């Protein structure tokens, strides 16, 4: 139960991808991933779950050392800045995707628990 969900409201566990969209960008060895809920009303419930700690854990296997979340409640959007995650960046990495362009979908694959009304598709698993 989260404060952003009404008491008694059923929550479903879905990939963030069903609730929000986003985009990755790189500068040197630093990646940023933006996350925007399709429904602005989902912002609060996502703010509780998309913590810097959980996001860091998602990118730990890539060497990430620090995550900073910037909140933009008016847009609404979150901007995650992930440090040292690109194995040297586009010029040093042995990864096929040295830019980390595909890396927004690591975060969009994270499981979140949200009210059904915020789920974009029929992919929900109760």
Partner 1 sequence: MADIFRVGNCAGFSGDRVDAPGPVVDTLIEWGGPCAVFFETLGERTVALAQLEKRRDPQRGYEPMLERLLEPILVRCAEHGIPIIGNFGAANPPGAAKLIAKLALRLGLPELKIAVVYGDDVRDRLDITTHEVYEADTGLNMGGGDVVSANAYLSARPMVDALKAGAQVVVTGRTGDPSLALAPLIHHFGWAYDDWAKLAVGATAGHLLECGAQVTGGYYYDPGYKEIPDPANIGFPIAEVHADGRLVITKAARTGGLVNAQVVKEQLLYEIHDPGHYITPDVTLDFSQVTVVEIGENRVQVNGVRGGPAPQTIKATVCFDGGWLGEGEISYAGPNCVARAKAAADVLLQRLKLRKLAVEARVDLIGIASVHSGDSGSRWRTEAHSDAQDIRVRLAVSARSQDDADQAAREALALYCCGPAGGGGVRWRTTPRIRTQSYLMLPSDLAPGYWVKSAMEIDQ
Task: Decide if residue 21 touches partner 1 (CB under 8 A).
Answer: yes
The least distance separating partner 1 from the CB of residue 49, rounded to whole angstroms, comes to: 19
* Residue 27, token pair as written in the block: 């500068």
Query: Of 11, 90, 110, 124, which lies in the binding site for partner 1, with binding defined by CB under 8 A?
Result: 90
Q: Is 93 in the site for partner 1 (CB under 8 A)?
A: yes
Cβ closest to partner 1, residue 11 vs residue 88? 88
Residue 38 vs 111, nearer CB to partner 1: 38
Which x/- pattern, by CB under 8 A, does the window 49-88 give for partner 1?
------------xxx----x-x-x-xx-x-x-x-xx--xx
Pair of tokens at residue 45? 């419930």
Judged by DSSP in three states, 20 sits in strand
Supply 10's token pair.
């059923």
Burial class (CB in 10 A: 0-12, 13-18, 19+), 107: buried
Q: 113 φ, ψ to 5°?
A: -110, 115
Taking the C-alpha atoms of residue 66 and residue 68, their distance in angstroms, rounded to an integer, is 7
13 vs 38, beta carbon nearer partner 1: 38
């Amino acid at each position: 139960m989260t404060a952003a969900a009404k008491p008694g409201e059923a929550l479903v566990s879905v990939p963030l991808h069903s609730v929000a969209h986003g985009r990755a960008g790189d500068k040197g060895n630093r990646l940023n991933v933006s996350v925007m809920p399709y429904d602005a009303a989902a912002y609060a419930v996502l703010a509780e779950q998309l913590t810097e700690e959980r996001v860091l854990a998602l990118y730990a296997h890539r060497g990430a050392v620090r995550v900073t979340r910037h909140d933009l409640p008016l847009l609404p959007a979150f901007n995650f800045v992930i440090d040292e995650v690109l194995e040297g960046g586009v010029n040093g990495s042995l990864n096929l995707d040295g830019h980390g362009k595909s890396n927004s979908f690591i975060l969009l694959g994270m499981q979140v628990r949200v009210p059904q009304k915020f789920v974009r598709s029929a992919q929900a698993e109760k």
